[in-house]
Structure 1
Amino acid sequence: MDSGSEKIIEAKIRDIFNIAIKNGEKRAGNFLDPAEQQIAEAVARNFPGAGYYFEGGHGEAERKVLVAFPEYLKDEPFFVPIRAIRVTPRDPDEHPGHRDYLGAVLGLGISRDKVGDIIVTKTGADIIVKEEVAEYIGLNLSRVGNVPVAVEEISLKEVAAVERSYKEIKGTVASLRLDAIASLAFGISRSKMAPYIKGENVRLNFKTVKDPSAEVKEGDVISAARLGRARVVEIGGSSKKGRIYVTVHKYTG
């Protein structure tokens, strides 16, 4: 995310807080990715007397909406305007992927910030969306790519559990630099990974990083364009040669 995009997000989040405080109400925005949620948390510190939380529709949600409110409304009930729809290929032998479902929804003219998580299952996908677009998707989404689909609205409680499959990768690195860890995770030489990072193709904890020497910590998430996503699950001790033991989970589904 470049500085211009960050400023736009900051302005939108400030508007949510300002309107909530001015009107004395709880107010929800559109979906934010994890990096945008970090921006929201930073903006929130400029609003003493205001509270906030994030809601994504299910326990493992990555994309979430911000709900802001005056602190005195903290315990007031609030219906977060998000819905869940289930998309099922009519041919059970067809299995579209995450990009296929996302592309089909955006192809209806719906902006990305109206769409939350997409949980792909063996039989289709459950998609979290803002309330105002749920009915429109239900009426107009008939295909995902070339695959005919059926669409129904479900309750948020019915959303499928997230099942993250991964490949465990263990190895040693010379340092905890981003290029070294990413090289291990994605099976690319460090000499090739460094310029890949400089080309703004890699995100660390959902923020684009251009510095190959950026430090990586246990628990960090590395995303690389066209290569996938991995989490650093363990940083161990050092070998006799001074290399650091690292365990990474590279997500495969």
Structure 2
Amino acid sequence: MDEETLLRRKILDTANKSYNQNIYTYTGFLGLSELAIYNSMKKELQFAYPSTFGGSESSERQIIRFGNPEIFGYDDSFPISVLKISPLTPKFAQELEHSDYLGAIMNLGIERSLIGDILIKEKDAYVYCMNHIAEFITDNLTTVKHNHVRATVCDEIPDIIRPVLTEFEVIAASARIDAVVASITKLSRSSALEFFSAKKVFLNGINIENNSAQLKPGDILVIRGFGKFIFDGCGNETRKGRVYVHMRRY
């Protein structure tokens, strides 16, 4: 059985458990490709009232929750904690990358599905994780690469990692998704097509290979390696007939 079939079965089993037992159920954190599979299943999962969240509205990795507060009579928050990982001696600490933090955490024997986004702010890192694994990480994570570190649980999401949307404009041939991707990545339209064939473009959570799709205001566009964007529509035309495209970047 291939990985996609296994994931589909696991998601459906989680939905059925919620529906049959009248309890909230959760998947682990899912990446963009896994969420694209979930989005392709949405219609068949509506009976279990799915929703997704990853710690903030801009989170790339997200958990699926099944359950309806109106039916159950109570709400249940997503089981997500935020950890802050800081060097014990900041002055001498080595600059670290996402892969350094992820590798150190997974070397503790923790599965990838228990870890969400990792955000680096100067010499600190903030890690979204499942609640039940947070204390284990704080007790056992003492080094990341050559840095001695301390991991603590944040009482709430720190302001420093709250999403801030940045408005910007690009000039594109049209609102076609391939034209917008080309303008954002500063590549030719033909070169931008490689992102589609490599399955690196996601529109509203769905991996999209149709490069002729027209973007609509409010669409969320993710380009692997370049970021996550909201399409706000097109403005005036240039003298050459191209258009100003209004975007916001997470």
TM range (shorter): 0.7 to 0.9
CA positional deviation for 1:87: 0.8
Match of 1:18 among 16, 31, 50: 16
How does the TM-score come out when normalised to structure 1?
0.76
Structure 2 counterpart of 1:32: 30
Which residue number corresponds to residue 138 of structure 1? 138
- What value does the CA root-mean-square deviation take over the aligned residues? 3.3
1:99–1:214 Cα change, 3 Å: farther
- The alignment partner of 1:212 has SS state of coil
Matched ranges for 1:228-243 at <5 A: 228-243=227-242
Equivalent runs, 1:5-154 vs 2, <5 Å? 5-33=3-31, 35-36=35-36, 38-39=39-40, 41-45=42-46, 47=47, 50-58=48-56, 61-69=59-67, 73-78=71-76, 80-93=78-91, 94=93, 95-154=95-154
Contact 2:54/2:63 (CA < 8 Å) preserved in 1?
yes
Tell me how far apart the structure 2 counterparts of residues 247 and 176 of structure 1 sit (CA, whole Å): 10
Secondary structure, counterpart of 1:179 in structure 2? helix
* Contact 2:85–2:126 (CA under 8 A) maintained in structure 1: yes
Measure, in 2, the Cα distance between the counterparts of 1:232 and 1:128.
Answer: 27
Of stretches 232-241 and 145-154 in structure 1, the one that deviates more from structure 2 is 232-241
**Change in CA separation of 1:153 and 1:38 when aligned onto 2, cut-off 3 Å:** same
Offset at 1:244?
2.0
Q: Secondary structure at the match of 1:67?
A: strand
Moved more, 144-153 or 53-62: 53-62
- Secondary structure, counterpart of 2:193 in structure 1: helix
Instruction: Tell me whether 179-188 or 106-115 shows the greater mean CA deviation.
Output: 106-115
Q: How has the CA–CA distance of structure 1 residues 231 and 144 changed in structure 2, closer, same or farther, with 3 Å as cutoff? A: farther
Per-residue deviation at 1:235?
1.7
**2:175 paired residue number:** 176
Distance in 2 of aligned mates of 1:200 and 1:60: 20
Partner residue, 1:200: 199
Q: 1:235 to 1:5 in 2, by over 3 A?
A: farther
Deviation at 1:230, TM superposition (A): 4.0
Please state how far the C-alpha of 1:128 moved relative to its aligned partner. Answer: 1.9
1:138 maps to a residue whose letter is T
* 1:136 shift after superposition: 2.6
Q: Aligned pairs, how many?
A: 244
Kindly tell me: are residues 39 and 110 of structure 1, through their superposed partners in 2, closer, same or farther at Cα, counting changes over 3 Å? Answer: farther
Task: Determine what percentage of the aligned residue pairs are the same residue.
Answer: 26
Dislocated runs of 4+, deviation >6 Å: none
Deviations 1:151-171, CA, capped at 9 Å, x for gaps = 12232x254453556775533
Look up the match of 2:210.
Answer: 211
For residue 108 of structure 2, what is the amino acid of its counterpart? L
2:169–2:244 CA contact under 8 A, matched in 1? yes
For 2:43, give the aligned amino acid.
Answer: A
Letter in 2 for 1:125: A
